[in-house]
Amino acid sequence: MILDAVLEVKGMKQQRKRLLLMEVGVTIAIALLLIFVMPAVLTGFRLSLLARFLALAIAALGIDLIWGYTGMLSLGHGVFFALGGYALAMHLQLAPLKNGLPEFMSLFGITELPWFWQPFYSFGFAAAAVVIIPALLAAILGYLVFRNRIRGVYFSILTQAATIVFFNFFNGQQGFFNGTNGLTNFKTLLGASVSNSQTQFVFYTLTVLFLAAAYALCRWLTSDRFGRVLIAIRDDESRMRFSGYDPTGFKVVVFAISAALAGIGGALFTLQSGLISPKAMDIAFSIEMVIWVAVGGRASLIGAIFGALLVNFAKSLLSEKFPGIWVFFQGALFLIVVTVLPDGVVGWLRYQGFQHLLTLLGRNKQVATYPSLEEDPEVQHERENIRN
Amino acid sequence: MIAGLLDGIFNGISIGAVLLIAALGLAIVFGLMGVINLAHGELMMLGAYTTFVVQNGFKMLGKPWSETYIIFALILAFLVTAAVGLVLERGVIRYLYGRPLETLLATWGVSLILQQFARSVSWVLVIGIAIFCFLFFGALWVLSRRPDFERIRNWVIAIMLPISLGVASATGAFLGQTYKLAVTKPWFGAQNVDVTAPNWLRGGLRLGTLQMPYTRLFIIGLTIVCVAGIYVFLQRSPWGLRIRSVMQNRSMSACLGIPTAKVDAITFALGSGLAGIAGCAISLLGSVGPNTGQNYIVDTFMVVVVGGVGKLVGSIVAAMGIGTINYLISSKVLVPMVAPIKPLVDLFEFFGTTSMAKVMVFALIIAFLQVRPGGIFPQKGRSVDA
Amino acid sequence: MARRLGRRKFLLYGSATLGTSILLKACSSTPPSSTSETASPTAASPSPSATTVAAAGGGNTIKVGILHSRSGTMAISENSVVDAELLAIEEINKAGGVLGKQIQAVEEDGQSDWPTFAEKARKLIDQDKVVTVFGCWTSASRKAVLPVFEEKSHMLWYPVQYEGQECSKNIFYTGAAPNQQIEPAVDWLLQNKGKKFFLVGSDYVFPRTANTIIKEQLKAKGGETVGEDYLPLGNTEVTPIITKIKAALPDGGVIFNTLNGDSNVAFFKQMQGAGLGPDKYPVMSVSIAEEEVKAIGTEYLKGQYAAWNYFQTVDTPRNKQFVEAFKAKYGPDRVTNDPMEAAYIAVYLWKQAVEKAKTADDLESVRKAAVGQTFEAPEGTVTMESNHHISKFVRLGEVADDGLFKIVYETKAAVKPVPWNQFVAATKGLGCDWSDSKKGGQYKI
């Protein structure tokens, strides 16, 4: 492979290594900053917001993985998010009980704990379910859909319809899942009181760590050959098929991973917001998730995290300042991002922002005669090393 | 038994007709242009609000007129939503052709804005928006005659945007202060508004034990008229020919001198106008409020996908099929028929509420797409892989 | 070569990472939680709020929170409740305020989204340091904020009729409990309209719980439930339900309607189209008030029934004053309804409690002072009982030509609230009394 050959050039490898080390360093630094400095800087309420938004950022990473890199727009990630949340919430409901039923069940005439609740007494099972249930569901659904080469818009519409189905299902099963009210009023997790501020801080730290881990996972997935396969699927699936790859397997795997990330995000979000309800399976929420990634920048992992934080903080602040009419701003945000900033904030900074700044400072744009040469790593490498 | 069967067929068709009339505009916009218009439901909502306004206007005119308002409401709803659709296409959609997933996000934004607009529209808001548009776009228009417009364009926007916003909001605040409730009171508010069908549309036609509501019959008739109208327009009129040719091969049509931009605008306006008619129709059955459109959006997309994109006849069959199946499951009429088989009875009992029936219908749709991924009537030829 | 990572290998590695990440999760969350276990008792110690709130007492205003959905699907109902609350606050401020201080309302938008409700409740308490919150409509939003109010030992005034089965120390319920609305309505229907009931509801917690109660009540009193069905919220296709009603009640019978919002409109429009009129199929609704009648259209509702504690047509001088004040502030075509009145009561009861306690910041004494407060409300004189619900008058109304209700039944005296339902087996024999520290939220009578 030509590209591999290029990357083997001496010096290049070291540079790559250096860059990687730098990235690891920066990630750790940011994580430490979040864990140790932020609690001192922010008020308790804002910190709890940040904690929740970081959990959402994990889900955003999942969306970025399938949408930004693989080109499949899922409008049903709320389902996976909620399933992750429910898995943990079911444990949280059962944990303080040891024996007996959650209160809502007896109100709806259920006398015995349903079989699918039983295993959630164990924390290990619940924690595993947070990842496995969404991943499994995504894998099955994905396999059925991708096998038939249903993709693009049709995939989006099907996932959107899936949200309705799960919403109705969880909403309608009052006795099993407490319907619209969802699962709430958590008391203890592994013996620690959930509402306690120290426990909340532990949750926050966990969220940061999970976000870092999710970032590393996505980074690893997208930087290597697997990542190139994903991009190939996004850019021209037919050609990829003609080159002898079967995209179905890749898509199923990516969809499952992304669902698992959403599940983890949902579980952490549930822990910190104190409830999970079918509202998380609402269409609006799933579309909102997509817009975080769009705002931050598609096909940019940093962008996904940044977008999730930015949009949610903006939403939170705007709705405080303008209760009632902030929806106008939200709608406008969708429009602006799609029409003016198609690459998102990070993408804009990466591709155009720097140039814009230069022109503002009076320096003219450098115009390349052959733009493709500018992006060719081989040419870049020669320029750097051979000129002198 | 016969009565039950007739009842089932009629109810299935009437549910299907509502789905179909709501999906028609979508089938055109999505099927022919590849634009996912999530604001379709909100365009229906605008149509429904138009009906409300027309109804109140005709109420003032007195007896003979107030009974016929629905006809005028249909026409006006079509015109209003078509106009809104035109603005939408010119302002947003045309920049996004060929990027269906982004039209999806953009139109979702539009739908949020339209919903909130319906909730909080008042004289102050309307005047504010008018002033803003006048100042901002007026300035752009005036300056666009200067030869160096391209160069100063960004500056103009940067200066005029805050000025126009400031003037508009200041005027709004001033008006609000001076005239108080008269201008700040929302026209419709967040509450639903009432659309009452004219007397001749209430009640129903009695056939033995079966009663067919007139509104249902009216909607079935309206759907037939709309489908026929679209068919004639697309197949027999010169603009229909152009639309079809642009959809088949855009660049070739442009080479042959067909104004593709105009064709796009007309197609989108037509689809939006149909949404308006649908909104008018559903206002006879359901609520008219800011959330009206949301309830239809997923169902209508399913109709289009199951039917096969770009095929009107597919949408018709799909709407009728989904309507009938939905009815059969949720009304539990199948339960006595499968009485001997116990598990089936349990299954139908479990899914026998309106909300659980939706779960079942979706499962069936997924299963169906396993067999026919392209819908009932898939498009043939290489262009499918677009 | 490390570069040559094959597809199969990737899948292998991928599942391995997934596995390890699960393991990591299981392990990493164990130790930190166990360390914080020792700290939990200190935080669980009672009423930390007394100190946090005290900071808000300074200055010449008292901050109260208003937490309702101003956007999203529930805005439809909650907007008018906010109007009523703001009206009450304005009136109190004009009359000199509370304890000589003006009330300042901090408004937050719950966005019809339950986690947002919890978030905003936290914000109002922690950041704005309000001394009480008036808010919520749906049970789901109340359940979402309940842990927040209990954790902070704060105070919420909840103004909507609800399904009961809850009695929190931190919430004052000024809407009806089931025995103040649903149960009398069922009794009246059994006596006057028939024994066969069909239950229709939206698919969420209030209708489901209400119907559970109704079914038990019918069983106990000799009625019969012939069927029930639930519509997803916002759904407007009711043909299947009408088919079921016709099949279950071929000769007519009572329909008990707990539908909410948009579905109501579709339900009544299509009922009329199908020829099911109030003569043979009387419908008793518990979520249709004056505003909804306006939104559905009087033509479709004439002759149908609704059960509430308050109607705009209630004939008391206090109500005339309330309706006039409301119309003057928000426009002559607006109407008042039960939740609005309950919200109005809530603000005044809070004010009286604060005045009796002589402080707004010490929530514990305000809570104590609130119990036993009476207020001459538009519906009649109401009393805050020791179970934090209020005694209310029960009224049944029939929709008249002008879109208002003709009152067909009304209790002579206010009915005492029973939050734990006595028909449902799980809560039979339970009571609630916050004035007695031994009894609390749930005790055996």
**What is d(CA C152, CA C442) in angstroms, rounded to the nearest whole number?**
20
The β-bridge relationship of strands B204-207 and A275-276 is: unpaired
Q: pLDDT band for position B44 (50/70/90)? A: very high
Give percent of chain C above pLDDT 90.
37
Instruction: State the chains in contact with A (3 or more Cβ–Cβ pairs under 8 Å).
Output: B, C
Chain C residues 47-86 within an 8 A CB cutoff of chain B: 71, 73, 75-76, 79-80
Provide the shortest C-alpha distance from residue A1 to chain C (in Å).
11
Q: Per the CB < 8 Å rule, is B286 touching C266?
A: yes
The order of strands in the sheet holding C133-135 is C102-109, C61-68, C133-135, C156-158, C171-173
Work out the average pLDDT over C173-191: 91
pLDDT at B118 over 60: yes
pLDDT at C9 over 80: no
Determine contact, residues A171/C235, Cβ cutoff 8 Å.
no
Which of C148, C208, C426 lies nearest to residue A179, judging by beta carbons?
Answer: C208
* Cβ-based contacts of B111 with chain A (< 8 Å): 331
DSSP H helix total and E strand total for chain C: 16, 17
User: Number of C-alpha atoms within 13 angstroms, CB side, residue C121?
Assistant: 33
* Cβ-based contacts of B104 with chain A (< 8 Å): 73, 75, 153, 156
Q: pLDDT band for position A2 (50/70/90)? A: very low
Largest Cα separation within chain B, whole Å, is 83
pLDDT at C130 over 90: yes
Q: Per the CB < 8 Å rule, is B101 touching A73?
A: yes
Work out the average pLDDT over B263-292: 90
pLDDT at C436 over 60: yes
* Cβ-based contacts of B353 with chain A (< 8 Å): 172
Alpha-carbon torsion (B171, B176, B179, B181), positive or negative: positive
Q: Per the CB < 8 Å rule, is A193 touching C147?
A: no
Q: Tokens for A307?
A: 């977008």
Q: Per the CB < 8 Å rule, is A154 touching B305?
A: yes
Mean pLDDT of chain B: 84
**What is d(CA A279, CA C193) in angstroms, rounded to the nearest whole number?**
38
Nearest residue of chain A to residue C204 (CA atoms) = A180
For residue C270, what pLDDT is reported? 87
* Cβ-based contacts of B197 with chain C (< 8 Å): 269
pLDDT at C331 over 50: yes
Which of A144, A154, A338 lies nearest to residue B105, judging by beta carbons?
Answer: A338
Non-local CB neighbours of A134 within 8 Å, separated by 6+ positions: A79, A80, A81, A83, A84, A259, A260, A262, A263, A266
pLDDT at B291 over 50: yes
Q: Per the CB < 8 Å rule, is A165 touching B363?
A: yes
Determine contact, residues B213/B220, Cβ cutoff 8 Å.
no
Give the residue with greater pLDDT, A177 vs A98.
A177
**What is d(CA C189, CA C332) in angstroms, rounded to the nearest whole number?**
34
Nearest residue of chain C to residue B191 (CA atoms) = C76
The β-bridge relationship of strands C305-308 and C374-377 is: unpaired
pLDDT per residue over B1-40, tens digit each? 667 777 888 888 888 998 999 899 988 888 778 788 889 9
pLDDT per residue over B350-379, tens digit each? 787 777 888 888 888 878 887 887 778 876
Collapsed DSSP state (helix, strand, coil) of residue A362: coil
* Cβ-based contacts of B358 with chain C (< 8 Å): 232
Q: Per the CB < 8 Å rule, is A158 touching B366?
A: yes
**What is d(CA C61, CA C103) in angstroms, rounded to the nearest whole number?**
6
Q: What is the DSSP string of C81-110?
A: HHHHHHHHHHHHHHTT-BTTBEEEEEEEE-
Q: C213: closest CA among C227, C199, C202, C203? A: C199
Non-local CB neighbours of C88 within 8 Å, separated by 6+ positions: C343, C344, C347, C348
Work out the average pLDDT over C152-157: 92
**What is d(CA C105, CA C85) in angstroms, rounded to the nearest whole number?**
9
Chain C residues 156-185 within an 8 A CB cutoff of chain A: 165
For A129-147, letters b (16+ CB in 10 Å) and e give bbbbbbbebbbebbbbbbe
The model carries a pTM of 0.85
Which of B96, B115, B373 lies nearest to residue A148, judging by beta carbons?
Answer: B373
Residue that is written with structure tokens 């239950």 in the block:
C199
Burial of C337 (0-12, 13-18, 19+ CB in 10 A): buried
For residue A10, what pLDDT is reported? 59
CA distances to A262, A298, A340, B265, C116 from A337, rounded to whole Å, are: 23, 11, 6, 23, 24
Work out the average pLDDT over C135-160: 90
Nearest residue of chain A to residue C150 (CA atoms) = A185
Say which DSSP state C285 is in: E
Burial of C101 (0-12, 13-18, 19+ CB in 10 A): middle
* Cβ-based contacts of A162 with chain B (< 8 Å): 362
Q: pLDDT band for position C320 (50/70/90)? A: very high
Instruction: State the chains in contact with C (3 or more Cβ–Cβ pairs under 8 Å).
Output: A, B
Which of C230, C273, C295 lies nearest to residue B216, judging by beta carbons?
Answer: C273
Work out the average pLDDT over A76-89: 93
Which of A153, A162, A327 lies nearest to residue B100, judging by beta carbons?
Answer: A153
pLDDT at A359 over 80: no
**What is d(CA C379, CA C317) in angstroms, rounded to the nearest whole number?**
10
Q: pLDDT band for position C54 (50/70/90)? A: very low
- Phi and psi torsions of A347, nearest 5°: -60, -40
* Cβ-based contacts of C238 with chain B (< 8 Å): 354
For residue A353, what pLDDT is reported? 67
Mutate which: B19, B88, B104, vs A, most A CBs within 10 A:
B104
pLDDT per residue over B53-86, tens digit each? 999 888 888 777 778 888 999 999 999 999 999 9
Residue that is written with structure tokens 């209760």 in the block:
A323
For residue B34, what pLDDT is reported? 79
Nearest residue of chain B to residue A148 (CA atoms) = B373
Work out the average pLDDT over C60-78: 86
Query: What residues are paired with C256 via a beta bridge?
Result: C199, C284
Give the residue with greater pLDDT, C155 vs B309.
C155
Most confident of A157-161, B211-215, C414-418, C427-431: C414-418
Q: Tokens for C312?
A: 């705009």
* Cβ-based contacts of A332 with chain B (< 8 Å): 109, 113
Q: C336: closest CA among C319, C353, C355? A: C319
| Helix ranges, B237-373 (H) | 238-248, 250-255, 260-282, 294-307, 312-330, 342-350, 354-371
Determine contact, residues C212/C424, Cβ cutoff 8 Å.
yes
**What is d(CA C180, CA B89) in angstroms, rounded to the nearest whole number?**
54
For residue A7, what pLDDT is reported? 47
pLDDT at A5 over 50: no
Which of B11, B190, B216 lies nearest to residue C76, judging by beta carbons?
Answer: B190
Q: Position C58: which residue type?
A: G
Work out the average pLDDT over B103-109: 87
Determine contact, residues A127/A190, Cβ cutoff 8 Å.
no
The order of strands in the sheet holding C374-377 is C374-377, C380-384, C390-391
Determine contact, residues A360/B131, Cβ cutoff 8 Å.
no
The β-bridge relationship of strands C395-399 and C405-410 is: antiparallel
pLDDT at B382 over 60: no
User: Number of C-alpha atoms within 13 angstroms, CB side, residue A343?
Assistant: 9
For residue A360, what pLDDT is reported? 65
Q: Note whether B49 contacts C: Cβ–Cβ < 8 A.
A: no
Own/partner pairs for B257-260, CB < 8 Å, 24+ apart? Answer: none
Among left, alpha and beta (phi > 0; psi -120 to 50; other), residue A308 is alpha
**What is d(CA C348, CA C46) in angstroms, rounded to the nearest whole number?**
28
Between A345-354, C266-275, C298-307, the lowest mean confidence (pLDDT) is in: A345-354
Q: Per the CB < 8 Å rule, is B116 touching C264?
A: no
pLDDT per residue over C352-367, tens digit each? 999 999 888 889 999 9
* Cβ-based contacts of A153 with chain B (< 8 Å): 30, 34, 36, 100-101, 104
- What is the number of other CB atoms lying within 10 angstroms of the CB of residue B184? 17
Q: Per the CB < 8 Å rule, is B287 touching C295?
A: yes
